[in-house]
Chain A
Amino acid sequence: MIRGPAQFMPREKGAAPLDVMIGIMAFLAALALGASLLADRASLDWRAGLSDRLTVQILVPSHGDAASELVRETGAALGVLRATPGIAHAQPLSEAEMRGLVEPWLGKGSLVAELPLPNLIDAEVIPGAPVDLAALAARLKDVAPDSQLDDHSRWLARLKGLADTITWTAYAILILIAVATAASVTFATRAGLAAHHEMVSLLHQMGARAGFIARAFEQHFALSTFAASALGATLAALLFLTAGGLEVFGVEAVPFLPPIALKFGEVAWFTAVPVAAALIAWLTARISVLAVVRKIY
């Protein structure tokens, strides 16, 4: 027994090609959404990790006794940093920590042991405290001519640029996929109208309003699009969760880059993909059907 307008539509047997295509597009949309979420989070993490930190690098002096001069300049720079208002604390990196930093690029060989490495001092700024970096760099130069103050602003700006590029690229992909979904549903609705022309014409002849006929199509396409895109988005969510699970076991996807694992709260955003796809399908089906039905006398 028929209960709603959607049930006037004949049931298709098996997955229609449109459903398969919408499922794939939803999968790609969810991947793009996941990429934008990852880029946003990575950018925030990087900035949070570096924005209140300063690094002072003391290069190996080329004059006098390099080793003792390096130790003297490091001590002098530490003194300046610790005396500067707004600096919470300053700590030189140990030799082991220094070796650990270059190890991923140069390995553990004797070459590394013999390399003249600069000294690094890690300083933390009290959040919100105004520190005149130019004046601090000048004072450091006075006591340690081989020092270089790095507030990471260049690096942060480039990271932010990269994260913003990834985010906006993901948004662009989402928009392209939304347009492709709308175009596909419009095409499928018109094909459906042609295939079910007799049904549309009969309902119209029997006094069905254009809105009633449109509801039959829009409900049919919204429901099938929701089901297909929910499947695609679920597959993408599983992919991200699996990647997260592998990283727990130490499998690193891309060295030096943030993990591609999404948190459960972030994966929840994926539910927006089938909802948005169903809305697009509903709207395009309605517009297409009303345009066609209103042309019939």
Chain B
Amino acid sequence: MVRFENVGMRYGAGPEVLRDVTFALDAGSFTFLTGLSGAGKTTLLKLIYVAEPPSRGLITLFGNDMATTRRRDFPAIRRRIGVVFQDFRLLEHLSAFDNVALPLRLAGRNEGNYEHDVEELLSWVGLGDRMHAKPATLSGGEQQRIAIARAVVARPDLLIADEPTGNVDAEIGGRLIRLFAELNRLGTTVLIATHDRALIESTKAREMRLVGGRLVELRTAGRP
């Protein structure tokens, strides 16, 4: 599903943020990505969700060599990836409902056949009574749950989450992880970047750690 071979990344003329990163995420796997702040986790995630091109190396996504894939095919690849951004990136002028429905709108579905799915998902993340609220009126934790709902609503083939439990309490955090695990059981490949050791230890999932821009495999177990 995802394959990196000797991937390096530097911004401009700066030092390499990632060095010779090689790994693969198999279809249906569940993986944690850990590392200290500044280790390159967010940069690695950006390369996977096609936000940046690598400086060197080979990236293969869903069987497509990204170096030779035509740019016009990128949107279709991006739509197969759900992303929970660390800073949520919600559209402030849209309601919680419309923010969550965005991937479905972009996939060309009309509101009649997604309204129920979106409402059900918002209820699942505990925001059934706030679906018409604008992000600015919601707490950080609530915004994070909307961002997660938006990332999973279209049942992506690959889910990438950058610190998805950073702003929620333990109970909501546990609930969100169960949501990710449920999606994983349904076939979605999951990659979560986190500092939360308790979260990692609560599962048997694989853990990859970034140290100084290099990837270290810590645990190779499969699913949570």
Contacts and interface: CB of A to CB of B under 8 A. Distances in A.
A205 B105 contact: no
Given A8-B91, A11-B93, A212-B106, A205 B49 contact: yes
Given A207-B78, A208-B106, A202 B89 contact: yes
Interface in B165-206: none
B93 A207 contact: no
A96 interface: no
Contacts of B93: 10-11
* Chain A residues touching B, majority SS: loop
Interface in A154-192: none
B111 interface: yes
B132 to A, nearest CB: 10
A203 B101 CA distance: 12
A193 interface: no
B32 interface: no
B13 interface: no
Given A205-B49, A212-B106, A3 B111 contact: yes
Given A1-B111, A11-B93, A205 B51 contact: yes
A203 B111 contact: no
A207 B79 contact: yes
Given A297-B52, A297-B53, A1 B97 contact: yes
A212 to B, nearest CB: 7
A199 interface: yes
A192 to B, nearest CB: 13
A1 B89 CA distance: 19
A209 interface: yes
B62 to A, nearest CB: 13
A202 B88 CA distance: 10
Interface string A82-111: 000000000000000000000000000000
A206 B106 contact: yes
A198 B91 CA distance: 8
A2 interface: yes
Interface in A187-229: 198-199, 202-203, 205-209, 212
Given A1-B111, A8-B91, A10-B93, A208 B101 contact: no
A26 to B, nearest CB: 28
Contacts of B17: none
Interface string B40-70: 0000000001111100000000000000000
Interface in A1-47: 1-3, 8, 10-11
A119 B132 CA distance: 88
A8 B106 CA distance: 11
A2 B79 contact: no
B51 A206 contact: no
Given A2-B101, A207-B79, A208-B75, A202 B91 contact: yes
B78 A206 contact: yes
The 3 A-B pairs at the shortest CB distance, nearest first, are namely: A207-B79, A207-B78, A10-B93
Interface of B: 49-53, 75-79, 81, 83, 89, 91-94, 97-98, 101-103, 105-107, 111
